Structure 1
Amino acid sequence: MLFWSVFGASIASALIPLINIEAILAVSISQAPSATWGLVIAATIGQMLGKILWYWGGMHVDRAPWVSRHLQKPKAKASLDRWHERAEGRPWFTAGLLFVSASIGFPPYAVTAVLAGILRVPFWVFFVTGLLGRGLRFWAVVGGTSSVMHLFQ
């Protein structure tokens, strides 16, 4: 049951950044240390399912009339053009940025997921770098939680 709770919470936290999956994961692991890796997997997969919606939203964001109007403004258009230039023909830069964002959260991964969709980053690049980055992030949470738990034993 805890697995599915963490899984659901991780999807929710991917969609609503105010929900802190790291805190939920840490508390869940402290309650069931034997389920650690299952909970890390649940959080990782759940987060990516939620982030896929951000990615998909980025791919279709230009369908919203107010977004289209905003993207036609010179400043917004110049910014988007700069990102296209940075990403175009530089798959390692793009994958690296997605991985760093997924693992450390800077730039915020929800924003990066939308940008990946707008820039039409191949889905498999987005998904694999996100799985690896989120998995590493949650593995670090596990390590931190374990360290704190040992202090109180």
Structure 2
Amino acid sequence: MPGHLADLLGVVGVAFASALVPLINIEAYLGVRGSVGGIENVWVLGLAAALGQMVGKLVWYYLGASSLSWAWVRRRMETPKARARLEKWRTRTHERPLFAGALVFLSAFSGFPPFAILSVLAGQLRMSLTLFFVLGLAGRWLRFTAVLGGAEWLVRLAR
């Protein structure tokens, strides 16, 4: 069991790094990782990857939330048109949490719109952190489990 825990922590670490550094492809890593074995349950492996990714996406969320206090962003937001647009989207996000949550889930699952960008926007729009984290986690978990299931299917096909 300690070996499996170390494996899972390794997956969490790679997933966290991939959330911050786009050059690290978590799906490719999971495809290889799932095909070499060790942890047999694709749901557990997918959850470990999803948790690591979401902790990394929280960094982007908080960067987005704090970015409006940065001098160069504040200068861009000085125009009434830019401020009005930000307020309009904040209002939409807060008045329609189901729509905002569905967009987070869809982005986390499909990658469209890119989840890293959506994470920053969620922070800027002051979206509910709980809604962002839970629905992002669910979308990522399903995505990564699908990748792992596909890798497992290919391994079986090759045998």
Q: Is the 8 A contact 1:58 1:114 kept in 2?
A: yes
Residue pairs, 1:50-129, within 5 angstroms: 50-73=56-79, 76-77=82-83, 79-129=85-135
Q: Which residue of 2 aligns with 1:27?
A: 32
CA distance in 1, matches of 2:22, 2:80: 29
Q: What are the superposed Cα offsets for residues 101-133 of structure 1, whole Å, 9 maximum, x if unpaired?
A: 111010011111111111111111001101100
User: In structure 1, what residue type is equivalent to 2:9?
Assistant: W
> Which residue number corresponds to residue 17 of structure 1?
22
Deviation at 1:35, TM superposition (A): 5.0
Helix, strand or coil for the counterpart of 1:34? coil
Stretch of structure 1 that moved more, 34-43 or 17-26: 34-43
C-alpha contact 1:29 1:35 (8 A) present in aligned 2: no
- Normalised by the size of structure 2, how large is the TM-score? 0.87
Question: Which residue number in structure 1 is paired with residue 48 of structure 2?
Answer: 42
List, as ranges, runs of 4+ consecutive aligned residues in structure 1 with deviation greater than 6 Å: none
**Residue 42 of structure 2 contacts residue 145 of structure 2 at CA under 8 Å; is this kept in 1?**
no
For structure 1, list consecutive stretches of 5 or more residues without a partner in the other structure. none
Using the alignment, how far apart are the partners of 1:127 and 1:34 within structure 2?
26
Q: Whole-Å Cα distance in 2 between the matches of residues 27 and 79 of structure 1?
A: 44
Q: Report the 3-state secondary structure (helix = DSSP H, G, I; strand = E; otherwise coil) of the residue aligned with 1:88.
A: helix
Matched, 1:7 2:12: yes
| Structure 2: runs of 5+ lacking an equivalent | 1-5
Greater Cα offset, 49-58 or 37-46:
37-46
What is the root-mean-square deviation in Å for CA atoms of aligned residues? 1.8
Question: What percent of counterpart residues are identical?
Answer: 46
The reply to whether residue 146 of structure 1 matches residue 152 of structure 2 is yes
